[in-house]
Amino acid sequence: MLYGIYKDTRNAAWRCLIDYNVSELPVKPSLIARAAGIKVIKNSDVHELAPHESGASVLDGKQWYIIYDDENTRQRCRFTVAHELGHIFLGHELRKGYHARTFDTTRPTIEQQADAFAVRLLAPACVLWALNVRTMTEIAELCDISNTAAQIRAERMALLYARNKFLTSPLERAVHSNFEAYIQRKKAE
Ligand SMILES: [Zn+2]
């Protein structure tokens, strides 16, 4: 389940959607975590997060844990878990000298990568394209993400629609094919 070999977060997110047989929106990051053997824990149960943190991944021996701030909205909680999956699946370097090992969240690059992974996991471009979804409101509702995350995705989608090069990668075609039944069902609504 290490996707760090992929050069970018786009391929890693596609690979993750394929490997965990995701075939519908909204994508459920907690189910992906469970299938990957990662334990997802509410911060209100463990009180491990620092005040500024919304989530953390911890490797204790061989067991991965994702802790998320469950006082946030559901949409933000989902994004946090997807972001932490990004750190784990992209194989980000673990910080040393910690009782259990976690990621060095002071490095902006790995934070950006984890965010990019999360948005691509929760709002796959080829599915939005197949449903001709373009606006922040539609994306937020369909993908169950915050308006903030949906706005970023909507801006990206505008560029992708203009470029119109969907399904050129075999990975993206595989994702699209897994979502085929869902896409047909949504189109019929
Ligand atoms: Zn992070």
Confidence of residue 110 (pLDDT cuts 50, 70, 90): confident
Residues with CB under 5 A from ligand 1 (ion): 111, 114
Distance 152 CA to ligand 1 centre (A): 18
Distance 158 CA to ligand 1 centre (A): 26
Distance 87 CA to ligand 1 centre (A): 7
pLDDT at 99: 54
Distance 171 CA to ligand 1 centre (A): 25
Q: Is the pLDDT of residue 119 over 60?
A: yes
pLDDT at 122: 98
Distance 157 CA to ligand 1 centre (A): 24
pLDDT at 4: 57
Confidence of residue 105 (pLDDT cuts 50, 70, 90): low
Distance 114 CA to ligand 1 centre (A): 6
N-to-C CA span, the chain: 35
Distance 92 CA to ligand 1 centre (A): 10
pLDDT at 81: 97
pLDDT in tens, 15-69: 999 999 999 999 999 999 999 999 999 999 999 998 888 999 988 888 999 999 9
Distance 103 CA to ligand 1 centre (A): 7
The Cα 187–Cα 155 span in angstroms is: 23
The Cα 180–Cα 122 span in angstroms is: 17
The Cα 97–Cα 5 span in angstroms is: 26
| 46-81 exposure pattern, b = at least 16 Cβ within 10 A, e = fewer | eeebeeeebbbbbbeeeebbbbbbeebeebbbbbbb
109 against 152, higher pLDDT: 152
Domains of the chain in start order, with CATH, are 9-188 (1.10.10.2910)
Residues whose CB is less than 8 angstroms from the CB of residue 89 and which lie 6 or more positions away in sequence, other chains included: 1, 2, 3, 4, 12, 16, 117
pLDDT at 40: 98
Distance 128 CA to ligand 1 centre (A): 25
pLDDT at 107: 73
Distance 174 CA to ligand 1 centre (A): 28
How far does Cα 112 stand from its chain's mean position?
12
* % of the chain surpassing 70 pLDDT: 90
Distance 97 CA to ligand 1 centre (A): 18
Distance 124 CA to ligand 1 centre (A): 20
Q: In what order do the strands lie in the sheet with 63-68?
A: 39-42, 63-68, 55-60, 101-102
4 against 44, higher pLDDT: 44
